[in-house]
């Protein structure tokens, strides 16, 4: 018996009433999020507001204690309750995770592999794709992010901006349905930051589905279709960037934006 295909309009990621705790510390207190196909959703807020935790819950790197997570209309299946709640189907988790590629703050490149090998590793070993085909795609994605000449270099030989661009190429080589960025520019000097911002803007212009945790309000304003301002684990305010940045409704958001200006 085959399962029903999701409706074509189903969001790539849909989260409803998500709660996440670490022991007695409740980090997310009933958060909703929808990322439609081709849209960019940015998560902003102070350190500790729950932005990165929400992003990690999206691709099941973190278990949540309550709420629903759907990927293209398909709900994550759970077993247990509360702090004992975990995904029930490892195959489902792997399938969803390979379609939600994450770019981390600290690059996380394998130091013992060349840049090309880093980009090829997951499609070849996890997804069992043909190495020759993957190599062609990997070289193409390295060209897309502007570092095709670094294929045979080691991560330690690259600048921070180049390493982050390699990490983006690695995420793209999985050919995911959505890209998840966790503060992709916060570890970089301002000059190198702009290299990565340029790549993210180009990806947004291509119509890629992205969820972006960022401290860069200009980047969020430029690329987002929807902005969510988190405060102490709750959505304080959300909307299109022109409303969130141009006409904030709450004192907390006004204070946050003035502090980051």
Task: Provide the pLDDT for residue 8.
Answer: 60
Instruction: Band the pLDDT of 187: cuts 50, 70, 90.
Output: confident
For the segment(s) 7-99+179-185+208-261, the CATH number from 3.40.50.2300, 3.40.50.720, 3.40.50.300, 3.30.565.10 is: 3.40.50.300
Q: What is the pLDDT of residues 37-48, one digit of tens each?
A: 999 999 999 999
Q: What is the pLDDT of residues 105-115, one digit of tens each?
A: 988 999 999 99
pLDDT at 261 over 90: no
Q: What is the pLDDT of residues 216-258, one digit of tens each?
A: 999 999 999 999 999 999 999 999 999 999 999 999 999 999 9
Task: Provide the pLDDT for residue 7.
Answer: 53
CB atoms within 10 A of CB 16: 14
Q: What phi, psi does 129 have (nearest 5°)? A: -80, 160
Q: What is the pLDDT of residues 121-149, one digit of tens each?
A: 999 999 999 999 999 999 999 999 999 99
What is the mean pLDDT of the segment spanning 97-102?
A: 94
Average pLDDT of every residue of the chain: 94
Q: Going by C-beta distance under 8 Å and a sequence separation of 6 or more, which residues neighbour residue 197?
A: 185, 216, 219
Domain with CATH 3.40.50.300 in the chain: 7-99+179-185+208-261
What is the mean pLDDT of the segment spanning 60-86?
A: 96
CA–CA separation, 213 vs 234, rounded Å?
15
Q: What is the pLDDT of residues 1-33, one digit of tens each?
A: 445 555 567 999 999 999 999 999 999 999 999
What is the mean pLDDT of the segment spanning 72-95?
A: 96
What is the mean pLDDT of the segment spanning 182-200?
A: 93
What is the mean pLDDT of the segment spanning 199-207?
A: 95
Maximum pairwise Cα distance, the chain: 56
Task: Provide the pLDDT for residue 9.
Answer: 76
Task: Provide the pLDDT for residue 1.
Answer: 44
Q: Tokens standing for 163? A: 């390493």
């Amino acid at each position: 018996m085959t399962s029903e295909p999701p409706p074509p309009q189903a969001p790539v990621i849909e989260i409803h009433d998500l709660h996440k705790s670490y022991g007695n510390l409740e980090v997310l207190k009933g958060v909703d999020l929808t990322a439609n196909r081709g849209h960019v959703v940015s998560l902003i807020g102070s350190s500790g507001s729950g932005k990165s935790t929400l992003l990690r819950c999206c691709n099941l790197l973190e278990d949540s204690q309550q709420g629903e997570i759907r990927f293209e209309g398909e709900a994550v299946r759970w077993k247990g309750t509360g702090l004992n709640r975990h995904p029930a189907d490892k195959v489902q988790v792997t399938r969803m995770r390979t379609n939600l590629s994450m770019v981390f703050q600290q690059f996380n490149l394998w130091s013992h592999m060349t840049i090309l090998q880093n980009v090829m590793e997951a499609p070849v070993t996890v997804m069992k794709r043909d190495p020759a085909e993957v190599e062609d795609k990997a070289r193409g994605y390295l060209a897309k992010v502007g570092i095709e000449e670094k294929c045979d270099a080691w991560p330690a030989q690259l600048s921070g901006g180049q390493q982050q661009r390699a990490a983006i190429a690695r995420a793209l080589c999985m050919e995911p349905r959505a890209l998840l960025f966790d503060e992709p520019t916060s570890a970089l000097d301002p000059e190198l930051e702009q290299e990565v911002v340029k790549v993210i803007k180009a990806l947004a212009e291509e119509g890629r589905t992205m969820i972006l945790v960022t401290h860069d309000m200009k980047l969020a304003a430029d690329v987002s279709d929807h902005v969510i301002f988190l405060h102490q684990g709750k959505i304080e305010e959300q909307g299109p960037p022109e409303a969130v940045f141009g006409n904030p409704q709450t004192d907390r958001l006004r204070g946050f934006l003035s502090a980051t200006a």
